[in-house]
Each structure stands twice: as C-alpha cells, then as structure tokens.
C-alpha cells in the first residue's frame, strides 16, 4: 500500500489563498491608517477636491482591499477544511486497502489549473478519482445539482461546484496526464460522502457512495450488501 502526495503542503492552494487574503487585509488596514492620519485640508487641496469629497474619498479607499481580504480568508478556511478531509481519507485508505494500491492525495494535474485533484487511487482494477465530501445529514441530487434533504423537502443547494461535476472534470484531467489517447483510457470518478446518508441521487453523472468502508469495497471490487450507490 503506497501513499504519495503530489503537491507539497507549503504550496497547497489554501496556504496561497491565506497569504493573499492576509496581504489584502494588511493593505486595507494600512490604507485606513494613512487615511486617518492625513490632514483632510492638505489632502483636499492636493487633490483639488472639496473637503467633504476628500473625506469621502479617503474613507472609501480601504474598503476594496478589506473586502478582498475577508473573502480570501473565508475561501482559505474552506480550502483548508477540504485539504484536511483529503488527508483523513488518504489515511483511512492507507490503513484499509490491501497491498498493490497507491493513494495520491493532493494531485496536481499538468493542465495549469489552480485547483488540485483531492484524491487519486491506482490499483489492480484501474485508476479512480475520488471526490470526498463531509456534509452531514441526508443528501440528494437532481441532474448533478446537490442538496441537503430536509424534513419538508429539498434544502439548501451545495455551495460551490457540484461534487459530481467536479469529480468528472478531475477524472478527465487525470486521464489527460496518464494517456496519449485520453478518450481510450478509463479513469473512474466517484464521490464519497464520509458522514452523510445518500437519498435520491440516481441522476448524478458519476457514482456516489456512502461512507469510507463503501469506497474501500468498491476499490477492491467486493461491494458489501446493502450498498448505497448512485449509478
């Protein structure tokens, strides 16, 4: 059983996003400090503005970088959670898959895109790209749109890209890296929910499984009964 990581921890996207967010926060705070310290009368004469317009101008300057910084920090937290989930999934697979399998978390395709592939597993049955998700409760899918199921019907739609569409896209990226004829190379895409229960997901474009034991069974080709799988 082999476990490899393609992208070093220091270069993973959440760290780069965090650094960018902190930069914009620092820039916004610096602009706010300078604006506060400026003499409005001198600044207004220098810019040729009326004093009240100069005050409005300098009060607005810090807002764009602060907004970019807050957005970057929020995105970095989501990316960090996804990175940690990939690490936990890789650790579980390394403990439960037999010899002959290679697990590659944080795979960086050669297409130049910023997003990494969370998990690639190479084994005797082929190459599988795994999209791990840690939503709780009960989930369902309508034509690749994913939702949390609530007591009185469909709940809120998943934030960000559809898990099944993302898994299918990542599979095509991996396929392009490992084959000179990508259309003839089979790379399976699977979504695995580590905590949620799967409800109606038959319209998902890729298989979806419930729980890490189920993905292990699928990888080794010995599905247990009953298995919750969307095909």
Confidence at residue 215, expressed as pLDDT on a 0 to 100 scale: 93
Report helix, strand or coil for 142: strand
> Is the Cβ–Cβ distance between 166 and 226 less than 8 Å?
no
Buried b (16+ CB within 10 A) or exposed e, 83-101: bebbbebbebbeebbeeeb
| Confidence band, pLDDT 50/70/90 cuts, at residue 60 | confident
Q: What are phi and psi of 75, to 5 degrees?
A: -65, -40
Q: Is the dihedral of CA 32, 34, 37, 43 positive or negative?
A: negative
When pLDDT is cut at 50, 70 and 90, the band that residue 207 belongs to is very high
d(CA 45, CA 33): 20
Decide which of 195 and 53 is more confident.
195
Which pair of structure tokens corresponds to residue 71?
């957005």
Taking all residues of the chain, what is their mean pLDDT, rounded to a whole number? 83
pLDDT at 148 over 80: yes
> Buried (b) or exposed (e) across 145-158, using 16+ Cβ within 10 A?
ebbbbeeeeeeeeb
**Between 150 and 17, the higher pLDDT residue:** 17
Of 214 and 179, which is predicted with more confidence?
Answer: 214
d(CA 82, CA 93): 17
Give the pLDDT confidence of 163-197 residue by residue, as tens digits: 999 999 999 999 888 876 656 678 899 999 999 88
What's the pTM value of the predicted model, to 2 decimals?
A: 0.77
State the Cα–Cα distance between residues 105 and 121, nearest whole angstrom.
Answer: 8
| Least confidently predicted of 56-65, 95-104, 158-167, 180-189 | 180-189
C-alpha dist (Å) from residue 145 to 92, 148, 163, 192, 206: 28, 11, 8, 16, 12
Q: What is the pLDDT of residue 225?
A: 42
List Cα–Cα distances, 55 to 39, 44, 110, 137, 179, in angstroms.
10, 8, 49, 50, 60
């Amino acid at each position: 059983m082999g476990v490899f990581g393609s992208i070093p921890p220091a270069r993973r996207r959440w760290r780069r996003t965090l650094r960018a967010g902190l930069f914009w926060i620092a820039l916004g705070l610096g602009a706010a400090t300078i604006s506060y310290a400026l003499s409005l009368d001198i600044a207004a004469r220098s810019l040729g503005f009326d004093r009240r317009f100069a005050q409005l101008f300098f009060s607005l300057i810090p807002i764009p970088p602060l907004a970019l910084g807050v957005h970057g920090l929020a995105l970095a937290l989501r990316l960090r959670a996804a990175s940690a989930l990939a690490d936990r999934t890789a650790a579980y697979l390394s403990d439960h898959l037999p010899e002959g399998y290679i697990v590659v978390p944080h795979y960086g395709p050669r297409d130049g895109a910023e997003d990494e592939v969370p998990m690639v597993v190479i084994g005797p049955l082929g190459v599988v790209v795994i999209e791990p998700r840690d939503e709780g409760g009960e989930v369902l899918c309508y034509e690749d749109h994913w939702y949390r199921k609530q007591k009185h019907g469909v709940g809120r739609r998943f934030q960000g890209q559809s898990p099944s569409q993302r898994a299918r896209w990542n599979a095509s990226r991996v396929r392009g890296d490992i084959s000179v004829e990508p259309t003839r190379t089979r790379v399976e895409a699977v979504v695995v929910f580590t905590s949620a229960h799967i409800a109606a997901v038959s319209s998902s474009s890729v298989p979806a499984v419930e729980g890490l034991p189920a993905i292990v069974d699928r990888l080794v080709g010995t599905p247990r009964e009953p298995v919750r799988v969307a095909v």
